[in-house]
Amino acid sequence: MQNSDCGFIRNQYTEFKDNTLTPETKAEVDTHLAECHACQKVFTELDQALSTMHSMETVQASPNFTTTLLSKISDSEPAGVWQRLYNSSYTKVAGYAIAAGMVVAIGLNFIIDPVSGVSGGNNSNFTIEQQVDTNNQENLVGASDSALMAGNDSLNLNSKTINSGSSTLQLVNGGN
């Protein structure tokens, strides 16, 4: 027997199984199924099919699936090992560490107070400026004279160094 309700009832199958029908519709489906053998058959066959599908035998990947995949990826990588090294977290950490070290080294150069007498390997400018500040004019002229006597290279070095303080530079040049 299939009456006009059968289409409607069969469309409720999924929600009926999911228990998401309203109580009224669920009651309607129950009543219909109790009377309609055609719909009963459809619901039963669907239950069986779903049960088979849920317990269907599964297929498995071959044992060397992952190895094959990784070698496929490795072969297709354009830069190979170097790209991997570049991408690896260890390389990045090492890079960050070196960069941080350089920043600290440069920062220390600026932080160290030259007047306190603490000087690093690159503090020659500050040392010489200090000499310029503390010595009087004659001493400076004398220093330049002795530099002249020591040769052009020394003079150039001194002039260059003193150039970092413009007022002092005028004084030295005037002295010469």
Partner 1 sequence: MNDLKDKTDEQLIAAFQQDDENAFVLLVERYRDRLINFVYRFLNDMTDAEDLVQETFVKVYRKKHSYREIAKFSTWIYTIAGNLARSELRKRKRRKTYTMSSLGYEDTEFTPVDTGKDTEGIVFNSYAGEEIMKAIDQLPEPFKTITILRDIQELSYEDISTILDIPMGTVKSRVNRARLKLQETLSYLRE
Binding range to partner 1, per CB under 8 A, among 9-17, 94-102, 146-154, 157-165? 9-17
Among 42, 112, 141, 147, binds partner 1 (CB under 8 A): 42
Q: Which stretch binds partner 1 (CB under 8 A): 26-34, 49-57, 120-128, 164-172?
A: 49-57
Q: How far apart are CA 30 and CA 54, in angstroms?
A: 25
User: Site mask, partner 1, residues 87-126, x = CB under 8 A?
Assistant: xxx--x----------------------------------
Determine which residue in the list 6, 21, 46, 171 makes contact with partner 1, applying CB under 8 A.
46
Using CA atoms, how far apart are residues 15 and 164, in angstroms rounded to an integer? 85
| Residues 9 and 39: beta-carbon distance below 8 Å | yes
* C-alpha span between 167 and 157 (Å, rounded): 18
SS3 69: helix
Pick from 27, 38, 70, 100: which binds partner 1 (CB under 8 A)?
A: 70
| Residue 59 lies near partner 1 (rule: CB under 8 A) | yes
Helix (H, G, I), strand (E, B) or coil at 117: coil
- What is the C-alpha separation between 123 and 127, in angstroms, rounded? 6
Does residue 73 touch partner 1 according to CB under 8 A?
Answer: yes
